[in-house]
């Protein structure tokens, strides 16, 4: 698909392209289009959907320029994110992506929709959509993390949130790994890998890279959350059973205006030296009567991995010490 857009006079042109064509570079990288400014016009080429999305962003830049209010980098990133949630046709009006329902979520992979598969999972997603803070506790394989990530991606795509923040505590599962080589990111990547695995099932690798480069998706260890306030973001804390009480309080107080939080964990897999220190268990007692907080419990009937996983979980639950 190819499209040509005429640029206005010099002053407004700079507001549209940005200093050193910064705005055009952001649009190219975020939407994966070819975008060239030449002889007073912009030439757009790429997939039909991406070209339409880029055209929407450029139209917003033109509107801001005409109003003598050039967009900041942050405003442009927000506009790009919103445009990526629609399926505009360049030859006609914008057509919105069909909305997701709480138990059926559209993600970024073309034609892929993720659905709740059990009544427990449906109740979990319903709670997540209607509460700003949702706790989900259950054994391995029940979809706690996967469904939370799917809901987050779907909300980013539909414009309900502007950013995803995926968080995990860096706690070893009963073994001491010792010194890990590499940069700080290299050291924490093994702990964050399960969240990336879920994302890769819902977005192309290049799409994830672009969103992370433009700060629309962030995957961080829990320790890096201190001192932050996150507005208009969906924040997921995974493996929350391995947080301490103080870490849980620190995390929960990061919630900003227009944001949502999902906290997932498995009370049977606490890797802290003293399981009684678990911030997840403590929060379940402290917050269960707080208005606006939802608690969901999944069990063996909600396990959707290999059938053996359900039998393994049941076997461990039935063994008495």
Residues 207-223 have pLDDT tens digits of 888 888 888 999 888 88
Q: Can you give the pLDDT at residue 147? A: 93
User: Residues 111-123: pLDDT tens digits?
Assistant: 788 888 888 999 9
Q: Can you give the pLDDT at residue 240? A: 93
Q: Can you give the pLDDT at residue 253? A: 94
Mean pLDDT of 273-280: 89
Q: Is the pLDDT of residue 96 over 50?
A: no
Of the chain, the percentage scoring pLDDT greater than 70 comes to: 83
Q: Is the pLDDT of residue 278 over 70?
A: yes
> 239, 190 in Cβ contact below 8 A?
no
Using a 10 angstrom Cβ sphere, with 0-12 exposed, 13-18 middle and 19 or more buried, the burial of residue 162 is buried
Highest mean pLDDT (candidates 41-50, 240-249, 303-312): 240-249
Domains observed in the chain: 2-83 (3.30.1370.10), 104-318 (3.40.50.300)
Q: At what angle do helices 10-17 and 48-66 cross, to 10 degrees?
A: 130
Half-sphere exposure of 171 (CA within 13 A, CB side): 22
Q: Which residues contact 284 (CB under 8 A, 6 or more apart)?
A: 135, 137, 295
143: nearest Cα among 114, 163, 167, 169: 114
CA angle 58, 38, 95 (to 5 degrees): 25
Confidence of residue 175 (pLDDT cuts 50, 70, 90): very low
Q: Can you give the pLDDT at residue 242? A: 92
Of the chain, the percentage scoring pLDDT greater than 90 comes to: 25
DSSP state of 263: E
Q: Can you give the pLDDT at residue 99? A: 43
Q: Is the pLDDT of residue 308 over 80?
A: no
User: Residues 283-292: pLDDT tens digits?
Assistant: 999 998 898 8
pTM of this prediction exceeds 0.75:
no
Q: Is the pLDDT of residue 243 over 80?
A: yes
Dihedral-angle region of residue 21 (phi above 0 means left; psi in -120 to 50 means alpha; beta otherwise): left
Mean pLDDT of 141-148: 91
Q: Is the pLDDT of residue 206 over 80?
A: yes
Distance CA 259, CA 20 (A): 34
| CA dihedral sign of residues 183, 189, 190, 192 | positive
242: nearest Cα among 262, 268, 224, 220: 268
| CA dihedral sign of residues 175, 285, 294, 297 | positive
Q: Is the pLDDT of residue 234 over 90?
A: yes
User: Residues 11-27: pLDDT tens digits?
Assistant: 788 888 888 888 888 88
């Amino acid at each position: 698909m190819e499209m040509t857009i005429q640029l206005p006079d010099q002053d407004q042109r700079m507001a549209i392209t940005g200093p050193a064509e910064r705005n055009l570079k952001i649009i190219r990288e975020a939407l994966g289009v070819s975008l060239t400014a030449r002889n007073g016009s912009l030439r757009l080429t790429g997939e039909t959907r991406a070209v339409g999305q880029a055209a929407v962003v450029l139209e917003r830049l033109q509107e801001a320029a005409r109003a003598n209010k050039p967009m900041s980098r942050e405003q442009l990133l927000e506009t790009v994110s919103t445009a990526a949630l629609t399926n505009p046709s360049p030859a006609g009006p914008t057509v919105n992506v069909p909305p997701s329902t709480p138990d059926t979520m559209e993600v970024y992979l073309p034609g892929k929709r993720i659905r709740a598969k059990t009544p427990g999972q449906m109740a979990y997603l319903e709670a997540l959509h209607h509460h700003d803070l949702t706790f989900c506790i259950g054994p391995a394989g029940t979809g706690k993390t996967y469904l939370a990530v799917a809901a987050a991606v779907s909300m980013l795509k539909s414009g309900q949130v502007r950013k995803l923040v995926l968080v995990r505590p860096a706690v070893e599962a009963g073994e001491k790994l010792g010194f890990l080589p590499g940069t700080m990111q290299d050291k924490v990547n093994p702990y964050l890998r399960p969240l990336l695995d879920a994302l890769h099932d819902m977005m192309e690798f290049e799409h994830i890279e672009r969103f992370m480069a433009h700060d629309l998706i962030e995957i961080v260890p829990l320790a890096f959350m201190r001192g932050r306030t996150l507005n208009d973001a969906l924040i997921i804390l995974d493996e929350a059973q391995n947080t301490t009480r103080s870490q849980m309080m620190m995390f929960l107080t990061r919630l900003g205006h227009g944001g949502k939080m999902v906290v997932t964990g498995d009370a049977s897999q606490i890797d802290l030296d003293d399981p009684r220190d678990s911030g997840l268990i403590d929060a379940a007692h402290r917050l269960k009567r707080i208005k606006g907080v939802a608690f969901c419990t999944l069990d063996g009937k909600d396990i959707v991995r290999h059938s053996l996983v359900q039998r393994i979980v049941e076997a461990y639950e039935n063994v008495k010490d």
